[in-house]
Amino acid sequence: MQKLSLDAKAREHLERAADSSAGRSAETLYGGHEHTLRQTVIALRAGTTLAEHENPGEATVFVLRGRVRLRSGDEAWEGMAGDLLLVPPARHSLEALEDSAALLSSVNKGNPHTPSPS
């Protein structure tokens, strides 16, 4: 078993984002190509946006610190520390309204290791 501190990871990546010209930092804490579930800590400086992109499967954003806006089409949802945002199954973007860190959890529908329904 392995244990990680999300608070420590959020702090670490907020520091990295502050030093980054892109204003962001991320690390996959669990999962990857060999897993269906992927959990990634993402840190964004205030005003930084993850541009609109496709949703590869089911996903949530758990806000660890700060305040973010999740946008899809004409709809937008704001979240602050402690909020869980359900990512819509459509193109979407994520903007940091304040220096923010979040845990993105996603399930890749197209993962070849996912068992076929019977």
pLDDT at 118 over 90: no
Q: What is the pLDDT of residues 55-111, one digit of tens each?
A: 878 999 999 999 999 999 999 999 999 999 999 989 999 999 999 999 999 997 765
Higher pLDDT, 51 or 116: 51
pLDDT reported for residue 110: 63
User: Which segments of 18-115 are extended strands (E)?
Assistant: 24-30, 37-44, 49-53, 57-65, 67-72, 75-80, 84-86, 92-96, 100-108
**pLDDT tens by residue, 1-51:** 889 999 999 999 999 999 999 999 999 999 977 889 999 999 999 999 999
Q: pTM of the predicted model, to two decimals?
A: 0.87
* Domain spans, the chain: 26-108
Q: What does the pLDDT look like over 50-70, one tens digit per residue?
A: 999 888 789 999 999 999 999
- What residue type is 59 in one-letter code? A
Q: Can you list the alpha helix ranges (DSSP code H) found in 1-118?
A: 6-19
| DSSP 8-state secondary structure symbol assigned to residue 5 | -
Hey, which CATH number is domain 26-108, 3.40.50.300, 3.40.190.290, 2.40.37.10, 2.60.120.10?
Answer: 2.60.120.10
For tokens 């030093």, what's the residue? 19
Would the pLDDT of 116 be above 60?
A: no
Separation in Å, CA 72 to CA 22, 56, 60, 65, 88: 22, 14, 14, 22, 7
Token pair recorded at residue 95:
């903007």
With 0-12 / 13-18 / 19 or more C-beta atoms within 10 angstroms meaning exposed / middle / buried, residue 89 is: middle
